[in-house]
Amino acid sequence: MRILHTSDWHLGRSFHGASLMREQEEVVDRVVELAGNHSVDLVVIAGDLYDRAIPPTDAVRLFDEALVRLHGTGAQIVAIVGNHDSPSRVALADRVLEQAGVVVRGDVSRCMHPLQFDPQDGGPTVNVFAVPYLEPSLARPVLDSLDREADPAGAEPGRDASHHRAAGAQSAAHRTPEIEESQPAGHRRVCHHDVTALATTLIRRAAAADGPTRTVVVAHTFVDGATPTDSERELSVGNIDRVGLDVFNGFDCVALGHLHRSQAFDDGRVAYSGSPLPYSFSEENDTKSVRIIEMNAAGRCSTEVVPLGVGRPLRTLRGRIADLLRSAAFSDAEQDRVRFLLTDPDQPLQAMTRLQARFPHAVTLEHQPDGLTRDGGEDVAHAVEHSENPLDLALRFWADQHGADASDAQKEALTSALEAVVGSDEA
């Protein structure tokens, strides 16, 4: 069985005000092409289908088109809602679509109902369990209810059933030290690890009841030890959003979403595909890709990471404005999305306008003069709190911003400006 794993499309997203819709259309074209060329049996989209709960019309149209075209390749589809999506909106027709081999799962109560495959490879049935993003306070009551209703005695005895049960017990009993430290004794609230461990325990129970199967789990979460980027939305304050890798013990393949950087764990058995486009400059050097997973009859998986090669590249250019405007060394970045770090002693006038004449897709600019060392925030706050002289504060701010004391002429201008303000107030 062959699976294409992608995630975090964030349809409808913009980048520093620039629309990404054209590039997201290229993403859909490329994913459809790969699904067809690789004779994919299942396409997994592991959450954050849209960038916000009420997506723009163009984004909804593009996702609808993607489902139709992917289904047209002969593949079945499993998509889940992420923390950016609205479960009730995205999964509106899930029950009807499932009859056609398209799962768009947003209802937590249906995470125990797999999409089933009977590949002609001599192996057992493949059950694909789709676990939408689990908001702890909302998901826990639903999962607790399912746990009470389930009948563990229904699971058939034997090696496979005991394998699922043992893995579930290990997961429930273990918490990583980093996660545990975030919870003061006697005050621990339900967190992402708890609800994910409960959901996967229910899935193991359902898988064991089916007898010998191969099991794929699709989820949207933050695995402890994974590397985030600057473009993900925080799931919670602190590190209580982390989920221990052990909650996924016992499954043959775990396809994850939420983190935008491609990364894998446990020899690739658990993996993030990453987002198909870079959504922050922290992803400037990432190669955006999808994962093509080949599962054999025994449930063992081998993976090929396939670069997508679409979208406008990101570049960070550092230097003085004169060099940035004229040097041939920057010619290859003229059609990229550019972040400028200007090193001129003083910030040039109309810098972005001038730079965009050469780099039309430039999106942001920071002034970082060469040799500048700024005071830390605490030092500045202390100076503000204890100074009674507005001129001293103004001169301190000047030195902090420019990396050098104000000249005599600059001090004179600041003094005149402050005197004019104070005189105006007194009048």
102-113 pLDDT per residue, tens: 999 999 999 999
Q: How many structural domains does the chain have?
A: 3
Boundaries of domain holding 386: 377-426
Residue 229: is its pLDDT beyond 90? yes
DSSP 220: E
Residues 6+ apart with CB under 8 A from 160: 208, 211, 212, 213
Shared-domain flag, residues 252 and 267 = yes
What CATH code is carried by the domain that includes residue 207?
3.60.21.10
Using alpha carbons, list the distances in angstroms from residue 72 to 33, 69, 76, 101, 194. Answer: 11, 5, 9, 11, 39
- Percentage, residues of the chain above pLDDT 70: 84
pLDDT digit string (tens) for 144-186? 999 888 755 544 433 344 444 444 444 444 344 344 444 444 4
- Percentage, residues of the chain above pLDDT 90: 69
What pLDDT is recorded for position 196?
Answer: 96
Q: Is 277 inside any structural domain?
A: yes
Of the candidate ranges 14-28, 93-107, 325-339, the one whose mean pLDDT is the lowest: 93-107
Q: Is 88 inside any structural domain?
A: yes
Q: Is 372 inside any structural domain?
A: no
Q: Which of 323, 341, 367 is the last residue of a domain?
A: 367
pLDDT digit string (tens) for 30-67? 999 999 999 999 999 999 999 999 999 999 999 999 99
373 confidence band (pLDDT: 50, 70, 90)? low
Q: Which of 367, 389, 409 is the last residue of a domain?
A: 367
Q: Per residue, what are the HEC states of 317-332? A: EEECHHHHHHCHHHHH
Shared-domain flag, residues 335 and 411 = no
Q: Which of 307, 339, 359 is the last residue of a domain?
A: 307
With contact defined as beta carbons under 8 Å apart, do 263 and 232 qualify?
Answer: no
What pLDDT is recorded for position 399?
Answer: 76
Shared-domain flag, residues 201 and 165 = yes
414 confidence band (pLDDT: 50, 70, 90)? confident
Q: Is 331 inside any structural domain?
A: yes
Shared-domain flag, residues 240 and 339 = no
What pLDDT is recorded for position 394?
Answer: 82
Q: Is 319 inside any structural domain?
A: yes
Dihedral of the CA atoms 26, 29, 31, 34 (nearest 10)?
-130
DSSP 276-333: SS--SGGGTT---EEEEEEE-TTS-EEEEEEE---S--EEEEEE-HHHHHH-GGGGGG
Residue 115: is its pLDDT beyond 60? yes
Using alpha carbons, list the distances in angstroms from residue 141 to 109, 247, 393, 396, 399. Answer: 10, 19, 55, 55, 56
Q: Is 251 inside any structural domain?
A: yes
Shared-domain flag, residues 344 and 249 = no
What mean pLDDT do residues 387-397 have?
A: 77
Max CA pair span of the chain? 92
pLDDT digit string (tens) for 239-296? 568 999 999 999 999 999 999 999 999 999 999 999 999 999 999 999 999 999 999 9
Shared-domain flag, residues 146 and 125 = yes
Shared-domain flag, residues 211 and 337 = no
Within 10 angstroms of residue 189's Cβ, the number of other Cβ atoms is: 12
pLDDT digit string (tens) for 320-362? 999 999 999 999 999 999 999 999 998 899 999 999 999 999 9
Q: Is 382 inside any structural domain?
A: yes
Shared-domain flag, residues 340 and 234 = no
What mean pLDDT do residues 107-125 have?
A: 92
Q: Is 158 inside any structural domain?
A: yes
With contact defined as beta carbons under 8 Å apart, do 354 and 360 qualify?
Answer: no
The mean predicted confidence, pLDDT, of the chain is 87
Q: What is the pTM of this model?
A: 0.82
Tell which residue, 343, 339, 319, has the closest CA to residue 329. Answer: 319
Shared-domain flag, residues 267 and 395 = no
Q: Which residue has the higher pLDDT, 305 or 393?
A: 305
What pLDDT is recorded for position 240?
Answer: 62
Shared-domain flag, residues 209 and 160 = yes
Tell which residue, 256, 268, 221, 218, has the closest CA to residue 77. Answer: 218
What pLDDT is recorded for position 237?
Answer: 52
Shared-domain flag, residues 286 and 322 = no
Shared-domain flag, residues 70 and 90 = yes
What pLDDT is recorded for position 154?
Answer: 45
Helices (H) and strands (E) in the chain, counts: 13, 19
